[in-house]
Each structure stands twice: as structure tokens, then as C-alpha cells.
Structure 1
Amino acid sequence: MFRSVKIVLLIIINIAVDQVSKVLVRRNFDLKEQLAILGDIQGDGAKFLMYYVENKGAFLGMGSDMNDTLRIIFLLILPVLVLGYVTYYIFKTKELDKWSLFAFCCIIGGGIANVFDRIVFGEVTDFFYISLGGVFKTGIFNVADMSVTTGLIILIFSNFFGKKKQTEVTT
């Protein structure tokens, strides 16, 4: 019971933080408005910007040019099915280590938050942009994207190091 409550709370926290951040951006920024948090908006150097956009697609706008039917299938129905299965999986699989469980909760929470935006608004609110002076730059993203990405990174490390640990124990 306590495990299930933790799972639900972690997912709800991910959704809530994302949705609150998006409400604040929608209320306080005009569409396409930019605000430099670090660095200069126009400069070539490193910068961290708030840049409010609405994204009809998925990660980095992929799929934004799809017709409405394909967008519904690939950006609503398929993600809901995957999120449903992953949620079922983490509730049923009691052997997950705490890091994998945390990672899956981040992925589910971020995924639900972006699917919610697509259902309610028809698009996803994005507002963060990072550039390290030409060496590295992101697309425009949001808190849900950070949750999903963080979850995936933790899951990869957890599985990589977890399997190594299990191998050491069995040999």
C-alpha cells in the first residue's frame, strides 16, 4: 500500500510542477516572448532563456506537420497506451529498485502532463532554451520534458549499474 501511495504521489508531483510552470508562463508571457535568465538573448555565447512557444508536435516539434488523424494516433492514442502499460508495469513489478521506480514515475508524470496539454489545448506549452555558445543547444522544452529525460537517464544508469551489481553477486 505504501509503495502504491509513493508511486501515485511521485507521478502527481511531476504533473503538478509541470502544469503550474505552464500556467505561470501562459499568464506572464506573450507568445514568442523571450527573457534571458543567463546570458544575452542576441549574443552567441552561453545562454539560458525563457522562450514561450506552443508546440503542436512532440519532442523538438517532430510531428507538428502531420495531418490531424496521424497526430491523434501518434501524439495522443499511442502515448496514452504506452503510459498506461508502463503504469501497470510499475504497479505489478515489485522487484524494481528504487531508482528505476523513481525514473518510471518521472517518465509517466511528464508524459501525462504533455498528453494533458495536447488534449486540453491542442498543443504543448514549451518555454526553456539552453545554448552553450554553439557547442551545445537544446530545442525549446518544458518541465515535463525534463522529467521524461531525467527519468530515461536514471533508468539507463540504473539498469546499467544494477545489472553489473547483480552479475557480481551471482559470480
Structure 2
Amino acid sequence: MILIIVLMTVGCDQVSKELTRQKVAPEAFIPVIKNHLILTNVENTGAMLGFGHDFPPILKRFLLQALPMLLLLIMLYRIMKKPNTNLFLIIAFAFVIGGGLGNLIDRIAYGSVTDFFQIRLGILRTGIFNIADVAVTLGVIMFIFLIARGKKLAI
């Protein structure tokens, strides 16, 4: 089940990014739902919200490629080796791992991550994000929900 969720997340993320790269002009502004959901095409050479985009290449490679790869592999190994884990926790980890791998593939293959959605609700605006970001966020929200319910997350 873990691998299915991870592979589906990575697959949806990579297909959506490839479609964006092929069909949406860079920096485009395409309202999908009025001006509340915007489709665009931005290449992010840093981490979340562009953090680290101006780091030296060797530091970027370590912080944005090597370290995340190591952490994702450790998480995947630990969750797959732990019997009788809470199903909700397994799904949360699978979303975080799948989303992390989706963005890591972009960083390794293209040197940047393709972001393409933005939500605007009045004065509230998200950063520009992608399917992998949604998966990671969903996984983290699930972790927070489990912690709030008093569950131990030891893996």
C-alpha cells in the first residue's frame, strides 16, 4: 500500500509538471476559477518559496538533493519495516515520501522544481506550488492530526 501511494503521488506529480512545462508559458497567468485558482509555470531553483535559490551549487546539491534523498530513503525503510503501524500514519508517510520524491526528481533532472498553482482568496495568497507540495502538506496535516489525538509517531 505504501508503494502504491508513493508511486501514484510521484506519477501524478510528474505528469502534471510535464504537462505544465509543455503547455503553459513561463510566468503565465491563467485564471482557472476566476482569480482564485491561478495556473502558471514557474521554475523554482530553491526550496519552499525559493529559499536557498542563491546558495552555492555544492551547498544546493547537498541541502536540496543529497540530504532529502537520504531522509526519504530512511523514512521509507523505517515505515516498511515497522509491523502493525497505524494505517493513517502509513498514509501520511507515503504522501510525504511521494511528494518529496516528486520534487527531488525535478531537482536532479532539471535543476529546479516546476510549480504551477496559486490560490488567491481576497488578501490571502499561497506561494506557487505543485502536486508534490500538496502531498507533503497533506501528509504533515495528517501527522498533526495524529499528534493532536494523542498518537505516538515513533517510527
Q: Which residue of 1 aligns with 2:2?
A: 7
Q: What amino acid does structure 2 have at the position aligned with 1:150? A: L
After superposition, the C-alpha distances for 1:139-170 in whole angstroms (9 at most, x for unaligned) are: 00000000000000011102321539xxxxxx
Taking the aligned partners of 2:11 and 2:55, their CA distance within structure 1 comes to: 29
After superposition, the C-alpha distances for 1:14-55 in whole angstroms (9 at most, x for unaligned) are: 000000101111111111111001223xxxxxx210111000
Taking the aligned partners of 1:156 and 1:89, their CA distance within structure 2 comes to: 19
How large is the Cα RMSD of the aligned pairs?
1.2
TM (normalized to structure 1)?
Answer: 0.85
Q: Which residue of 1 aligns with 2:147?
A: 159
Structure number with bigger Rg: 1
Q: What amino acid does structure 1 have at the position aligned with 2:37? A: F
Q: Does 1:127 align with 2:128?
A: no
Structure 1 residue 87, shift from structure 2 partner: 0.5
Taking the aligned partners of 1:53 and 1:127, their CA distance within structure 2 comes to: 6
SS in structure 1 of the partner of residue 137 of structure 2: helix
Q: What amino acid does structure 1 have at the position aligned with 2:28? A: E
The list of structure 1 runs, each at least 4 consecutive aligned residues, that deviate by more than 3 angstroms after superposition, is: none
Taking the aligned partners of 2:84 and 2:62, their CA distance within structure 1 comes to: 32
Number of positions where the alignment pairs a residue of Structure 1 with one of Structure 2: 152
Q: Which residue of 1 aligns with 2:137?
A: 149
Matches within 5 A, 1:19-58: 19-40=14-35, 47-58=36-47
Structure 1: state its 5+ residue gaps: 1-5, 41-46, 165-171
Structure 2: state its 5+ residue gaps: none
After superposition, the C-alpha distances for 1:81-107 in whole angstroms (9 at most, x for unaligned) are: 110110011011123211110010000
Q: Which residue of 2 aligns with 1:107?
A: 96
Q: What amino acid does structure 2 have at the position aligned with 1:58? A: A
Aligned residues of 2:25 and 2:40 also touching (Cα < 8 A): no
Q: What amino acid does structure 1 have at the position aligned with 2:137? A: T
Q: What amino acid does structure 1 have at the position aligned with 2:135? A: S
TM (normalized to structure 2)?
Answer: 0.94
Percentage identity across aligned positions? 40
Taking the aligned partners of 1:163 and 1:106, their CA distance within structure 2 comes to: 18
After superposition, the C-alpha distances for 1:112-137 in whole angstroms (9 at most, x for unaligned) are: 01000000011000000011111x21
